[in-house]
Amino acid sequence: MAKSSVLGYPRIGAEREWKKALEAYWSGKIEESEFHSKLQEIRLDHLRKQKDKSLDIIPVNDFSYYDHVLDTATMFGIIPKRFSYEGGVVPLSVYYGIARGTKDAAASEMTKWFNTNYHYIVPELDGVTPVITENKPLVAYREAKEKLGIEGKPVIVGPLTFLKLSKGYEVSETDAWLERLLPLYVQILQELAQEGVQWVQIDEPILVTKISTADLQRLKTIYETFSSSVPDLNIMLQTYFESVENYSDIIQLPVKGIGLDFVHGFSDNLSSIKTFGFPSDKVLGAGVIDGRGIWKASLRDRLVLLEELTDLVTTDKLIVQSSCSLLHVPVTVKNEEKLQTELKNALAFADEKLDELILLTKAVSSGGAAAIREELEQCESALQALKLSDERNRKDIQQTVAAISAKNPERSQPFAERHIAQQKKWQLPIFPTTTIGSFPQSVEVRKARQLWRKGEWNNEQYADFIREQIDIWIKLQEEIGLDVLVHGEFERTDMVEFFGEKLAGFAFTQYGWVQSYGSRCVKPPIIFGDVAFEEAMTVEETKYAQTKTNRPVKGMLTGPITIMNWSFVREDITREQIAYQLAYALRQEVEALEQAGIGMIQVDEPAVREGLPLKEEDQAEYLAWAVKAFRMTTCTAQDTTQIHTHMCYCEFHDMIDSIEAMDADVISIETSRSHGELIHSFEVNTYKLGIGLGVYDIHSPRVPRVEEMTSMIERALRVLDPKLFWINPDCGLKTRGLEETVDSLRNMVEATQIAREKHSLKV
């Protein structure tokens, strides 16, 4: 009989209990012992839920105190020297110091987990001698067994993926590092085998990307070593997010099971199995339920796929599972009381996906579709009702967007001519200073929004409060000495949610939270219908802010690709079509800001690269329509209107042409968290438009020294045109405190003055 499993379960809890515990501990409201107790309670509750639903194989060690890659690094004692680690089990102070930074040490780099919206902490191998600090998978296995009687499946990040996602070593040192790590992995697995563990899931998502012949040989070495060291341990070599490259090589590896994604890598993985077969001595982990999307699966279609697979593998060699960890979806639909019925009935979050897996496993193992006939009918009825809804069939929007997207969007004049006109209008000094958009959202700001949403404040009371906050921060920005100001975005909960609430085609959950990084949880909007502009969204606050200062105030918009990539999107039309609908709606907002007298408009696109397909052959097409969507948004702007954009966690070098093609007058880009490594991109490439490199890390509470920012500025000016160079933080400041924000910005302005004095005579 087939078995059911998932690759991981959300950490945060249905009401973000995990996040609340973390932040209570960080703020000193609870002691470490109570913190451990709270997290154990949350962890056991998640395991108990999976057990109660009769999931056959339950993952353990998928829970984390912050990030699973950081967990792997600290398990192997891979601690940057600046955190003064002295050996043994890694203290929470060091663990969280790596993730968040300390007063004296910068945090490690954070970047996206493949092409998801989750961000992991990048391990730093330089100067480290790896050792086992504790066997975390074993601890997790014992806890599940002793507390709940669960025979868990420990989950571990595989050696090749771990190395590929790490930094601080040369490519030529890869084999040396593998030699250091492999014995440690072996010891972890041997201890698990001695404990009686039946299955271990070793995640190697790197195998869905293009890897070298040398890496294939390393992969073979890794798993032959595991096989000879723990011959009786069932290892599930798990891939996800796409189809595997080198399928015929991978199926020959000496493992007991191979997990494949039959959602995002559906056609190629299925084609590979049909072409090359699947080994009869291995178990197939069939990822048939989408671990990243929120829509109900068509159980009928999924069952057809599973029946096709059972023609190629026997039922007893089949595990029906999620396509990836359920980390990327909210916990449960059942608490959502405000969604319209047609939409709610078509949704499946983590708990509902467990139910889908159980149903499909039952059908595969006994009786096929007949065994779940009623559930199949209910599922198809729910999906059909949404398909036929008015929101998904707005012909006016569909026809207008089709006509606009058929044209090539471009500004009326090239950048060189626009730059002259803008300089004449704005008369900005060399190295203009600005921020990315948001300022700290204090307890008072959040409380005011809550009072307004509950109806305890009327619209005018809330608007008065927002204006008071704008007044405070316009004055502060002027006192600090910033050149281009922002209104602070105090009326916005989230840079995507805010716009979604004002556009047609969006829906919002009450509890649909997912982890972005650390305790940062977001509640992505749901794009379920055709997107349409209804009324001006940002004009009121931006126009008010401009009346309070003679300095320019930027209008702040979130770009079409970021809104799309940071939302859960419909699956009945292409992502390209969704992007164009968003672009058309946002273009109307750009025009509304211009009509209100706003002459600098920032259209943020921090998530452009997050949507980049993992397959190289698909990337050019995506970048082409992503660039087109941005240009559709901004192409009608006047020559003197300065269009800004912002990107973060972007490996600039591999998409510099596309970013330049967006034709923004100024781009700000994160460099601080990667310790200036992005600057190297400009040492090997030229960039001819305005650019601001983030000179300090806003994700850390520490206040950066003037000298740190001066060093970053000087390195950048070795390769960038001073006439086009801006100075700014690396991202918005919403999550930071008032005092640290003001102190950091003062230091940034001081560093700018030093640079101006040094370079003014050279310009």
Residues labelled catalytic? 699
The two tokens of residue 546 are 């401009």
Q: 571 labelled as ligand-binding? A: no
Q: What share of the chain is helix, strand, coil (3-state, %, to 5)?
A: 50, 15, 40
Question: What Rg value do the Cα atoms of the chain yield, rounded?
Answer: 26
Read off the amino acid at residue 247. Y
Q: Please check if 117 is assigned to a binding site.
A: yes
Looking at residue 553, the DSSP 8-state letter turns out to be B
Asked whether 756 and 710 are in contact (CB, 8 A), the reply is no
Residues 119 and 113: beta-carbon distance below 8 Å: yes
- The phi, psi pair for 28, rounded to 5°, reads 80, 10
- Rounded Cα gap, residues 672 and 605, in angstroms: 18
Tell me, what amino acid is at 658?
Answer: S
Does the annotation list 328 as a binding residue? Answer: no
Lookup: tokens for 407: 């044209």
**CB proximity list for 440: less than 8 A, separation 6 or greater:** 733, 734, 735, 736, 737, 738, 741
CB 338 within 8 A of CB 346: no
Tell whether residue 625 is among the known ligand binding residues: no
In sequence order, what are the beta bridge partners of 666? Answer: 644, 690
Distance CA 494, CA 491 (A): 9
| Dist. CA 713–CA 717, nearest whole Å | 6
Residue 18 is assigned to a ligand binding site: yes
Asked whether residue 31 is marked as a ligand-binding residue, the answer is no
Cβ atoms 254, 223 nearer than 8 A: yes
646 is in an annotated binding site: yes
Beta pairing partners, 485: 553
650 is in an annotated binding site: no
**436 annotated ligand binder:** yes
- φ/ψ (deg, to 5) at 485: -100, 170
Helix orientation angle between 539-547 and 575-595, rounded to the nearest 10 degrees: 30
DSSP 8-state secondary structure symbol assigned to residue 315:
G
Q: Is 635 annotated as a binding residue?
A: no
The residue type found at 2 is A
The answer for residues whose C-beta is within 8 angstroms of residue 528's C-beta and 6 or more apart is: 343, 386, 391, 392, 505, 506, 507, 570
User: Is 566 annotated among the ligand-binding residues?
Assistant: yes
Q: Calculate the alpha carbon distances from 716 to 433, 586, 681 in Å.
A: 15, 32, 10
Q: SS3 of 675, please?
A: coil
From the annotation, which residues make up the binding site for Zn(2+)? 646, 648, 670, 731
From the annotation, which residues make up the binding site for L-methionine? 436-438, 489, 604
From the annotation, which residues make up the binding site for 5-methyltetrahydropteroyltri-L-glutamate? 16-19, 112, 117, 520-521, 566, 610
From the annotation, which residues make up the binding site for L-homocysteine? 436-438, 489, 604
